[in-house]
Amino acid sequence: MDLTFSKDEVEFRDELREWLAENSPGEEPRGDEDAIFAFRTGWQRSLYDSGWAAVHWPQEYGGRDATLMESAIFFEEMGRAGAPLPANVLGLLLAGPTIMAWGTPEQKDRYLTPILSAEEIWCQGFSEPEAGSDLAAVKTRAVRDGDDWVVTGQKVWTSGAQFSKWCMLVARTDPEASKHKGLSYFLMDMEQEAVQVRPLVQITGEAEFNELFIEEARIPHENMLGEEGNGWIVALTTLMNERSGLGFFLQVRLRQLLDKLVAEAVANGSIDDPVIGQSLGDMLERTETLRLTAYRGLSTITKYGQPGPEGSLTKWLWSETNQMMTQLAVDIVGPQALHKDNPWAYELLRARGNSIEGGTTEILKNIIAERVMGLPRK
Ligand SMILES: Cc1cc2nc3c(=O)[nH]c(=O)nc-3n(C[C@H](O)[C@H](O)[C@H](O)COP(=O)(O)OP(=O)(O)OC[C@H]3O[C@@H](n4cnc5c(N)ncnc54)[C@H](O)[C@@H]3O)c2cc1C
Protein backbone atom coordinates (compact mmCIF):
# COMPACT_ATOMS: atom_id res chain seq x y z
CA MET A 1 0.00 0.00 0.00
CA ASP A 2 1.29 3.47 -0.93
CA LEU A 3 1.26 5.63 2.21
CA THR A 4 2.28 8.87 0.49
CA PHE A 5 -0.57 11.38 0.56
CA SER A 6 -1.88 12.81 -2.72
CA LYS A 7 -2.51 16.56 -3.14
CA ASP A 8 -6.24 16.05 -2.39
CA GLU A 9 -5.43 14.05 0.73
CA VAL A 10 -3.08 16.74 2.00
CA GLU A 11 -5.81 19.34 1.42
CA PHE A 12 -8.33 17.14 3.27
CA ARG A 13 -5.91 16.76 6.20
CA ASP A 14 -5.15 20.48 6.37
CA GLU A 15 -8.83 21.44 6.30
CA LEU A 16 -9.52 19.01 9.16
CA ARG A 17 -6.52 20.22 11.17
CA GLU A 18 -7.70 23.78 10.82
CA TRP A 19 -11.24 22.84 11.91
CA LEU A 20 -9.91 20.92 14.92
CA ALA A 21 -7.71 23.83 15.94
CA GLU A 22 -10.74 26.15 15.91
CA ASN A 23 -13.20 23.69 17.47
CA SER A 24 -11.36 22.07 20.34
CA PRO A 25 -13.81 20.00 22.44
CA GLY A 26 -11.97 20.82 25.70
CA GLU A 27 -11.26 18.43 28.54
CA GLU A 28 -13.60 15.44 28.96
CA PRO A 29 -15.22 15.22 32.43
CA ARG A 30 -14.24 12.22 34.56
CA GLY A 31 -16.15 9.87 36.82
CA ASP A 32 -19.71 11.01 36.04
CA GLU A 33 -21.20 8.86 33.26
CA ASP A 34 -24.09 11.21 32.49
CA ALA A 35 -21.71 14.17 32.21
CA ILE A 36 -19.36 12.14 29.97
CA PHE A 37 -22.26 11.12 27.75
CA ALA A 38 -23.50 14.73 27.48
CA PHE A 39 -19.95 15.91 26.62
CA ARG A 40 -19.55 13.27 23.90
CA THR A 41 -23.01 14.05 22.50
CA GLY A 42 -22.07 17.74 22.24
CA TRP A 43 -18.82 16.79 20.51
CA GLN A 44 -20.58 14.55 17.98
CA ARG A 45 -23.17 17.27 17.23
CA SER A 46 -20.43 19.75 16.53
CA LEU A 47 -18.69 17.24 14.21
CA TYR A 48 -22.02 16.60 12.49
CA ASP A 49 -22.84 20.28 12.01
CA SER A 50 -19.54 20.71 10.16
CA GLY A 51 -19.81 17.48 8.15
CA TRP A 52 -17.06 15.66 10.05
CA ALA A 53 -19.11 13.05 11.99
CA ALA A 54 -18.49 10.12 9.62
CA VAL A 55 -16.47 11.22 6.64
CA HIS A 56 -16.72 7.86 4.85
CA TRP A 57 -20.52 7.90 4.84
CA PRO A 58 -22.40 8.93 1.67
CA GLN A 59 -23.08 12.65 1.34
CA GLU A 60 -26.84 12.07 1.19
CA TYR A 61 -26.74 10.83 4.80
CA GLY A 62 -24.50 13.61 6.07
CA GLY A 63 -21.07 12.10 5.28
CA ARG A 64 -18.44 13.31 2.83
CA ASP A 65 -18.00 10.28 0.56
CA ALA A 66 -14.41 10.16 1.83
CA THR A 67 -12.03 7.58 0.41
CA LEU A 68 -10.61 4.97 2.78
CA MET A 69 -7.32 6.85 2.86
CA GLU A 70 -9.15 10.04 3.86
CA SER A 71 -10.95 8.07 6.59
CA ALA A 72 -7.57 6.91 7.85
CA ILE A 73 -6.33 10.51 7.85
CA PHE A 74 -9.50 11.48 9.73
CA PHE A 75 -8.81 8.99 12.54
CA GLU A 76 -5.11 9.91 12.68
CA GLU A 77 -5.95 13.60 13.02
CA MET A 78 -8.61 12.96 15.69
CA GLY A 79 -5.99 11.02 17.64
CA ARG A 80 -3.38 13.72 17.15
CA ALA A 81 -5.79 16.35 18.48
CA GLY A 82 -6.68 14.17 21.49
CA ALA A 83 -10.36 14.29 20.48
CA PRO A 84 -12.83 12.29 22.61
CA LEU A 85 -14.95 9.43 21.30
CA PRO A 86 -18.28 10.51 19.83
CA ALA A 87 -21.36 9.54 21.93
CA ASN A 88 -22.80 7.23 19.28
CA VAL A 89 -19.70 5.22 18.56
CA LEU A 90 -21.57 1.91 18.08
CA GLY A 91 -24.07 3.62 15.80
CA LEU A 92 -21.35 5.21 13.66
CA LEU A 93 -19.03 2.23 13.41
CA LEU A 94 -21.40 -0.76 13.62
CA ALA A 95 -25.11 0.00 13.11
CA GLY A 96 -24.62 2.54 10.30
CA PRO A 97 -22.36 0.36 8.10
CA THR A 98 -24.59 -2.71 8.73
CA ILE A 99 -27.73 -0.79 7.74
CA MET A 100 -25.91 0.57 4.68
CA ALA A 101 -24.96 -2.98 3.66
CA TRP A 102 -28.30 -4.72 4.36
CA GLY A 103 -31.00 -2.06 4.80
CA THR A 104 -33.90 -1.32 2.48
CA PRO A 105 -33.99 2.24 1.05
CA GLU A 106 -36.68 3.05 3.67
CA GLN A 107 -34.49 1.76 6.52
CA LYS A 108 -31.51 3.77 5.29
CA ASP A 109 -33.63 6.92 5.08
CA ARG A 110 -35.11 6.37 8.52
CA TYR A 111 -32.06 5.41 10.58
CA LEU A 112 -28.82 6.75 9.14
CA THR A 113 -29.06 10.51 9.64
CA PRO A 114 -30.10 10.36 13.36
CA ILE A 115 -27.11 8.04 13.96
CA LEU A 116 -24.77 10.64 12.55
CA SER A 117 -26.31 13.57 14.42
CA ALA A 118 -26.34 11.61 17.75
CA GLU A 119 -30.10 12.18 18.02
CA GLU A 120 -30.58 8.41 18.31
CA ILE A 121 -27.98 6.34 20.15
CA TRP A 122 -27.44 2.65 19.37
CA CYS A 123 -26.34 -0.39 21.34
CA GLN A 124 -25.39 -3.93 20.30
CA GLY A 125 -27.59 -6.72 21.72
CA PHE A 126 -25.63 -9.78 20.66
CA SER A 127 -24.11 -11.47 23.75
CA GLU A 128 -26.21 -13.51 26.16
CA PRO A 129 -25.34 -15.35 29.39
CA GLU A 130 -24.78 -18.54 27.37
CA ALA A 131 -23.80 -17.09 24.02
CA GLY A 132 -20.67 -14.95 23.76
CA SER A 133 -17.86 -16.38 21.66
CA ASP A 134 -20.38 -18.86 20.32
CA LEU A 135 -22.79 -16.18 19.19
CA ALA A 136 -24.86 -18.58 17.09
CA ALA A 137 -26.05 -20.14 20.38
CA VAL A 138 -28.34 -17.17 21.18
CA LYS A 139 -31.58 -18.20 22.85
CA THR A 140 -33.51 -14.92 22.74
CA ARG A 141 -36.64 -15.89 20.87
CA ALA A 142 -38.67 -13.87 18.34
CA VAL A 143 -42.14 -15.15 17.37
CA ARG A 144 -44.18 -13.67 14.51
CA ASP A 145 -47.50 -12.13 15.54
CA GLY A 146 -49.23 -10.40 12.61
CA ASP A 147 -47.10 -7.45 11.51
CA ASP A 148 -44.92 -7.70 14.63
CA TRP A 149 -42.34 -9.98 16.16
CA VAL A 150 -42.69 -10.68 19.88
CA VAL A 151 -39.27 -10.99 21.54
CA THR A 152 -38.38 -12.59 24.87
CA GLY A 153 -34.92 -13.27 26.27
CA GLN A 154 -31.86 -11.87 28.03
CA LYS A 155 -28.83 -10.03 26.74
CA VAL A 156 -25.71 -9.16 28.69
CA TRP A 157 -22.69 -6.83 28.38
CA THR A 158 -24.80 -4.40 26.33
CA SER A 159 -22.57 -1.29 26.26
CA GLY A 160 -24.35 2.06 26.38
CA ALA A 161 -27.84 0.49 26.54
CA GLN A 162 -28.80 2.99 29.24
CA PHE A 163 -28.47 5.83 26.72
CA SER A 164 -29.78 4.00 23.66
CA LYS A 165 -32.89 4.48 21.58
CA TRP A 166 -32.15 1.49 19.30
CA CYS A 167 -30.58 -1.93 19.69
CA MET A 168 -28.99 -4.17 17.02
CA LEU A 169 -30.65 -7.37 18.20
CA VAL A 170 -29.89 -10.92 17.12
CA ALA A 171 -32.73 -13.34 18.00
CA ARG A 172 -33.80 -16.87 17.12
CA THR A 173 -36.77 -16.90 14.75
CA ASP A 174 -36.67 -20.60 13.83
CA PRO A 175 -35.78 -23.02 16.65
CA GLU A 176 -36.08 -25.98 14.24
CA ALA A 177 -33.43 -24.70 11.81
CA SER A 178 -29.71 -25.37 12.32
CA LYS A 179 -27.96 -23.09 14.84
CA HIS A 180 -26.67 -20.51 12.32
CA LYS A 181 -29.72 -20.52 10.05
CA GLY A 182 -32.48 -19.91 12.61
CA LEU A 183 -31.39 -16.36 13.50
CA SER A 184 -32.69 -12.98 12.36
CA TYR A 185 -31.38 -9.45 12.90
CA PHE A 186 -33.72 -6.75 14.25
CA LEU A 187 -33.62 -3.04 14.93
CA MET A 188 -35.32 -2.95 18.33
CA ASP A 189 -36.79 0.17 19.91
CA MET A 190 -35.44 0.30 23.47
CA GLU A 191 -38.11 2.73 24.61
CA GLN A 192 -40.73 0.20 25.67
CA GLU A 193 -41.74 -1.22 29.06
CA ALA A 194 -40.94 -4.75 27.87
CA VAL A 195 -37.21 -3.87 27.69
CA GLN A 196 -35.58 -3.42 31.07
CA VAL A 197 -31.97 -2.19 31.32
CA ARG A 198 -29.96 -3.07 34.43
CA PRO A 199 -26.47 -1.53 34.66
CA LEU A 200 -23.52 -3.79 35.61
CA VAL A 201 -20.70 -2.12 37.54
CA GLN A 202 -17.26 -3.13 36.27
CA ILE A 203 -13.78 -3.07 37.80
CA THR A 204 -13.32 0.66 36.95
CA GLY A 205 -16.41 1.55 39.03
CA GLU A 206 -18.30 2.60 35.89
CA ALA A 207 -21.42 0.89 34.60
CA GLU A 208 -20.42 0.98 30.95
CA PHE A 209 -22.45 -2.09 30.06
CA ASN A 210 -25.78 -3.59 31.12
CA GLU A 211 -28.04 -6.59 31.28
CA LEU A 212 -31.15 -6.40 29.10
CA PHE A 213 -34.28 -8.23 30.20
CA ILE A 214 -36.69 -8.52 27.28
CA GLU A 215 -40.20 -9.73 28.08
CA GLU A 216 -42.51 -9.85 25.07
CA ALA A 217 -41.08 -6.75 23.43
CA ARG A 218 -42.72 -5.91 20.09
CA ILE A 219 -40.72 -5.22 16.96
CA PRO A 220 -42.54 -4.38 13.71
CA HIS A 221 -41.60 -6.73 10.86
CA GLU A 222 -40.34 -3.74 8.85
CA ASN A 223 -37.54 -3.44 11.48
CA MET A 224 -35.98 -6.73 10.44
CA LEU A 225 -32.59 -6.10 8.79
CA GLY A 226 -31.89 -8.52 5.95
CA GLU A 227 -34.09 -11.56 5.32
CA GLU A 228 -35.70 -13.77 7.97
CA GLY A 229 -33.17 -16.50 8.90
CA ASN A 230 -30.25 -14.44 7.56
CA GLY A 231 -29.30 -12.92 10.93
CA TRP A 232 -25.98 -14.72 11.21
CA ILE A 233 -24.64 -13.22 7.98
CA VAL A 234 -25.91 -9.74 8.87
CA ALA A 235 -24.31 -10.07 12.34
CA LEU A 236 -20.98 -10.97 10.71
CA THR A 237 -21.06 -7.63 8.87
CA THR A 238 -21.41 -5.89 12.25
CA LEU A 239 -18.58 -7.94 13.79
CA MET A 240 -16.20 -7.38 10.86
CA ASN A 241 -16.77 -3.64 11.16
CA GLU A 242 -16.21 -3.85 14.93
CA ARG A 243 -12.79 -5.47 14.47
CA SER A 244 -11.54 -3.33 11.61
CA GLY A 245 -13.20 0.12 11.99
CA LEU A 246 -12.84 0.30 15.74
CA GLY A 247 -9.34 -1.18 15.50
CA PHE A 248 -8.18 1.71 13.36
CA PHE A 249 -9.58 4.26 15.79
CA LEU A 250 -8.08 2.49 18.80
CA GLN A 251 -4.56 2.23 17.40
CA VAL A 252 -4.54 6.02 17.16
CA ARG A 253 -5.58 6.32 20.80
CA LEU A 254 -2.87 3.86 21.76
CA ARG A 255 -0.26 6.15 20.24
CA GLN A 256 -1.69 9.07 22.25
CA LEU A 257 -1.34 7.01 25.42
CA LEU A 258 2.27 6.14 24.57
CA ASP A 259 3.12 9.81 24.03
CA LYS A 260 1.65 10.62 27.47
CA LEU A 261 3.65 7.81 29.04
CA VAL A 262 6.91 8.98 27.45
CA ALA A 263 6.18 12.49 28.78
CA GLU A 264 5.72 11.00 32.30
CA ALA A 265 9.02 9.12 31.98
CA VAL A 266 10.85 12.26 30.85
CA ALA A 267 9.29 14.31 33.66
CA ASN A 268 10.26 11.90 36.47
CA GLY A 269 13.63 10.94 34.98
CA SER A 270 12.83 7.23 34.62
CA ILE A 271 13.50 7.55 30.88
CA ASP A 272 17.23 7.29 31.83
CA ASP A 273 16.67 3.80 33.22
CA PRO A 274 17.74 1.50 30.35
CA VAL A 275 15.05 -1.09 31.17
CA ILE A 276 12.30 1.56 31.02
CA GLY A 277 13.81 3.04 27.85
CA GLN A 278 13.86 -0.36 26.19
CA SER A 279 10.27 -1.13 27.25
CA LEU A 280 9.10 2.20 25.81
CA GLY A 281 10.99 1.37 22.61
CA ASP A 282 9.14 -1.97 22.44
CA MET A 283 5.85 -0.12 22.84
CA LEU A 284 6.75 2.24 20.00
CA GLU A 285 7.58 -0.71 17.77
CA ARG A 286 4.25 -2.37 18.61
CA THR A 287 2.20 0.80 18.05
CA GLU A 288 3.88 1.41 14.70
CA THR A 289 3.33 -2.24 13.64
CA LEU A 290 -0.30 -1.84 14.62
CA ARG A 291 -0.64 1.36 12.60
CA LEU A 292 0.78 -0.28 9.48
CA THR A 293 -1.36 -3.41 9.96
CA ALA A 294 -4.45 -1.19 10.29
CA TYR A 295 -3.51 0.48 6.98
CA ARG A 296 -3.09 -2.94 5.41
CA GLY A 297 -6.61 -3.78 6.58
CA LEU A 298 -7.86 -0.65 4.82
CA SER A 299 -6.17 -1.71 1.63
CA THR A 300 -8.03 -5.07 1.84
CA ILE A 301 -11.32 -3.18 2.06
CA THR A 302 -10.31 -1.12 -0.98
CA LYS A 303 -9.59 -4.31 -2.95
CA TYR A 304 -12.40 -6.60 -1.81
CA GLY A 305 -15.10 -4.17 -0.65
CA GLN A 306 -15.28 -5.49 2.94
CA PRO A 307 -13.00 -5.98 5.94
CA GLY A 308 -10.94 -9.18 5.89
CA PRO A 309 -9.69 -11.42 8.73
CA GLU A 310 -6.76 -8.99 9.27
CA GLY A 311 -9.14 -7.04 11.50
CA SER A 312 -8.72 -9.86 14.02
CA LEU A 313 -4.95 -9.39 14.02
CA THR A 314 -5.25 -5.65 14.68
CA LYS A 315 -7.70 -6.20 17.52
CA TRP A 316 -5.51 -8.86 19.18
CA LEU A 317 -2.33 -6.80 18.89
CA TRP A 318 -4.11 -3.67 20.14
CA SER A 319 -5.57 -5.31 23.25
CA GLU A 320 -2.28 -7.00 24.17
CA THR A 321 -0.28 -3.79 23.66
CA ASN A 322 -2.76 -1.66 25.62
CA GLN A 323 -2.58 -4.07 28.55
CA MET A 324 1.25 -4.13 28.43
CA MET A 325 1.45 -0.36 28.15
CA THR A 326 -0.85 0.35 31.10
CA GLN A 327 1.16 -2.15 33.15
CA LEU A 328 4.37 -0.35 32.17
CA ALA A 329 2.74 2.92 33.24
CA VAL A 330 2.59 1.60 36.78
CA ASP A 331 6.36 0.92 36.70
CA ILE A 332 7.04 4.40 35.39
CA VAL A 333 4.60 6.45 37.47
CA GLY A 334 5.01 4.41 40.65
CA PRO A 335 2.47 3.47 43.34
CA GLN A 336 0.37 6.63 42.81
CA ALA A 337 -0.62 5.17 39.42
CA LEU A 338 -2.78 2.77 41.43
CA HIS A 339 -4.66 5.48 43.30
CA LYS A 340 -8.31 5.57 42.26
CA ASP A 341 -8.14 9.24 41.22
CA ASN A 342 -5.09 8.77 39.03
CA PRO A 343 -5.95 8.53 35.29
CA TRP A 344 -3.45 5.67 34.88
CA ALA A 345 -5.41 3.56 37.40
CA TYR A 346 -8.45 3.90 35.16
CA GLU A 347 -6.43 2.98 32.05
CA LEU A 348 -4.91 -0.06 33.80
CA LEU A 349 -8.26 -1.39 35.00
CA ARG A 350 -10.20 -0.64 31.82
CA ALA A 351 -7.56 -2.40 29.70
CA ARG A 352 -8.37 -5.75 31.36
CA GLY A 353 -11.56 -6.04 29.32
CA ASN A 354 -9.78 -5.35 26.02
CA SER A 355 -8.93 -8.99 25.44
CA ILE A 356 -12.60 -9.97 25.93
CA GLU A 357 -14.67 -7.24 24.23
CA GLY A 358 -15.27 -7.44 20.48
CA GLY A 359 -14.07 -11.08 20.38
CA THR A 360 -11.71 -12.69 22.90
CA THR A 361 -8.03 -13.07 22.09
CA GLU A 362 -8.40 -16.87 22.00
CA ILE A 363 -11.14 -16.63 19.38
CA LEU A 364 -9.14 -14.11 17.34
CA LYS A 365 -6.14 -16.45 17.41
CA ASN A 366 -8.39 -19.24 16.08
CA ILE A 367 -9.56 -16.99 13.22
CA ILE A 368 -6.01 -15.96 12.34
CA ALA A 369 -4.74 -19.54 12.47
CA GLU A 370 -7.53 -20.82 10.23
CA ARG A 371 -8.33 -17.94 7.91
CA VAL A 372 -5.09 -15.96 7.63
CA MET A 373 -2.50 -18.74 8.05
CA GLY A 374 -4.65 -21.54 6.60
CA LEU A 375 -3.85 -23.98 9.42
CA PRO A 376 -6.13 -27.01 9.90
CA ARG A 377 -9.00 -26.62 12.40
CA LYS A 378 -7.66 -29.44 14.62
C1 LIG B 1 -16.04 -4.05 27.97
C2 LIG B 1 -16.94 -4.98 27.23
C3 LIG B 1 -17.95 -4.47 26.45
C4 LIG B 1 -18.80 -5.35 25.75
N5 LIG B 1 -19.83 -4.81 25.01
C6 LIG B 1 -20.69 -5.63 24.37
C7 LIG B 1 -21.82 -5.11 23.68
O8 LIG B 1 -22.03 -3.90 23.62
N9 LIG B 1 -22.67 -5.97 23.08
C10 LIG B 1 -22.49 -7.33 23.13
O11 LIG B 1 -23.29 -8.04 22.53
N12 LIG B 1 -21.43 -7.87 23.80
C13 LIG B 1 -20.55 -7.05 24.41
N14 LIG B 1 -19.48 -7.58 25.12
C15 LIG B 1 -19.40 -9.04 25.24
C16 LIG B 1 -18.25 -9.69 24.49
O17 LIG B 1 -18.47 -9.66 23.11
C18 LIG B 1 -18.15 -11.13 25.04
O19 LIG B 1 -17.74 -11.03 26.38
C20 LIG B 1 -17.18 -11.98 24.28
O21 LIG B 1 -17.69 -12.26 23.00
C22 LIG B 1 -16.89 -13.31 25.01
O23 LIG B 1 -18.05 -13.96 25.34
P24 LIG B 1 -18.30 -14.53 26.84
O25 LIG B 1 -18.03 -13.41 27.79
O26 LIG B 1 -19.64 -15.16 26.85
O27 LIG B 1 -17.17 -15.62 27.07
P28 LIG B 1 -17.20 -17.13 26.57
O29 LIG B 1 -17.55 -17.20 25.14
O30 LIG B 1 -18.01 -17.93 27.53
O31 LIG B 1 -15.68 -17.52 26.73
C32 LIG B 1 -15.08 -17.82 28.01
C33 LIG B 1 -13.61 -18.12 27.77
O34 LIG B 1 -13.48 -19.28 26.91
C35 LIG B 1 -12.68 -18.97 25.77
N36 LIG B 1 -13.21 -19.68 24.59
C37 LIG B 1 -14.51 -19.78 24.21
N38 LIG B 1 -14.62 -20.47 23.05
C39 LIG B 1 -13.34 -20.81 22.69
C40 LIG B 1 -12.78 -21.53 21.58
N41 LIG B 1 -13.56 -22.02 20.61
N42 LIG B 1 -11.43 -21.67 21.51
C43 LIG B 1 -10.63 -21.16 22.49
N44 LIG B 1 -11.11 -20.48 23.58
C45 LIG B 1 -12.44 -20.31 23.67
C46 LIG B 1 -12.81 -17.46 25.59
O47 LIG B 1 -11.70 -16.91 24.89
C48 LIG B 1 -12.87 -16.98 27.04
O49 LIG B 1 -11.58 -16.87 27.57
C50 LIG B 1 -18.61 -6.75 25.83
C51 LIG B 1 -17.57 -7.26 26.63
C52 LIG B 1 -16.75 -6.40 27.33
C53 LIG B 1 -15.65 -6.96 28.18
DSSP 133-146: SSGGG---EEEEET
| Cβ–Cβ under 8 Å, residues 120 and 268 | no
User: How far is ligand 1, taken at its centre, from the CA of residue 209, in Å?
Assistant: 13
In 3-state terms, what secondary structure has residue 5?
coil
Strand partners of residue 186 = 169, 224
Predicted confidence (pLDDT) per residue in 136-152, tens digit: 999 999 999 999 999 99
Q: What is the pLDDT of residue 245?
A: 64
Q: Is 304 a residue whose pLDDT tops 90?
A: no
Beta-carbon neighbour count of residue 333 at 10 Å? 22
Regarding the beta carbon of 206 and ligand 1, being less than 6 Å apart is answered no
Which residues lie below 8 Å from residue 217, measured CB to CB, with a gap of 6+?
150, 151, 152, 188, 192, 194, 195
At 288 the pLDDT is 93
Dump pLDDT digits (tens) for 263-303.
999 999 999 999 999 999 999 999 999 988 888 877 776 67
Cα–Cα distance measured from residue 249 to residue 104, given in angstroms and rounded to the nearest whole number: 28
Task: Identify the pLDDT of residue 199.
Answer: 95
Q: pLDDT band at 206, cuts 50/70/90?
A: confident
Summarised one tens digit per residue, pLDDT across range 5-16 is 899 999 999 999
**pLDDT recorded at residue 79:** 82
- pLDDT tens-digit series, residues 20-60: 999 988 888 887 889 999 999 999 999 999 999 989 888 88
State in Å: Cα 115 to ligand 1 middle: 26
Length of the chain: 378
Q: What are the catalytic residues?
A: 242
Q: Is the CB of 196 under 6 A from ligand 1?
A: no
At residue 118, the pLDDT reads: 96
67 CB near ligand 1 (under 6 Å): no
